Amino acid sequence: MDTVTLVLILVGLSCPICLLKGLASTFTENSHPLSFSSALPGKYINGLFSGVKKEKVYGTIHGNVIRGMEYIPKTPNPDLGIVYLHGGFAPVSTKDEYKDVKYLTSLGFRVLVLSYEGEFRGMRGMSLLQDTKEAADAASWMKTFRFVKNVGLMGVSRGGFAAYHTFIQYQDHFSKLACLAAPTDLNIFKEGDAGKKIPKTGMPPRLLRGMWKYFVFTGDEDTSSPIYYADRLRNKPLLMIYGLQDTIVPQGQGEIMRDRVNSPNCIYISLDHDHGLAREEDTQKWVGKFFLMN
């Protein structure tokens, strides 16, 4: 298992090799089991991101502030925009480069990388419930001011944890959900489960203690875990990608969520990457295919 630096932990990302759709079948990556409607570039080509613009966003909707960074394609797709919840706890800046976001934008999607209000007060100022409300407001803002018909939701690492809960609480705001390398069961995340052969997180204890209040937002580890609400994730398209080499959010966190959701709407992919999987080309292609699906 690779060790992961603290910087990478705070950014949050990852990827692997076999794919499961619902629980019906297992496929290799070359089997193309999903009926994707659009072809994607076989490899990165010169100029792939040349039409992508990046602009700061500071707007309001229903009296609430929307902050972040908007990635804008040369020819925006009017059918779907994407709200992106990043990993870590630092505010989004113009210096941040989200290669997965740029890839999605190159396919025609407007992507709003949300900067949560609580980030400006540091880790202790963050609130999961506030973050979920801001993500839902961001979806309303995109529909109102960017004129997209539907909004997808994507989250990575800590942002994936928030994305699960956002989708659970505000499912009517979003058409589909993609979560990468995100905790699903906080008890197992903290302690591991020998019976299920899922190790505990390799996150440094001090950092985990600092984040724990954010994760356990109900005051109880069970009811704060996304897996507790798995039945609410069955009705719309759900993509989960986890890394076989991830020591921060072990791949088993995704497997137990897949098994609990147990829906043909759920696509589960494991890739041979660590917690930085969102930076990887194969991860980005799977996410792109998912958002292009009808």
Sheet containing 64-72: give its strands across.
25-28, 18-21, 266-271, 238-243, 176-180, 150-156, 80-85, 110-114, 64-72, 53-61
User: Given this model, what pLDDT does residue 116 score?
Assistant: 80
CA distances for 184 relative to 107, 242, 253, 289, angstroms: 29, 11, 6, 24
Q: What domains appear along the chain, each with residue ranges and CATH number?
A: 6-28+48-292 (3.40.50.1820)
User: Given this model, what pLDDT does residue 97 score?
Assistant: 82
Provide the 3-class DSSP secondary structure of residue 223.
coil
User: Given this model, what pLDDT does residue 89 score?
Assistant: 78
Mark the ranges of the chain whose per-residue pLDDT is less than 50. Answer: 1-39, 42, 44-45
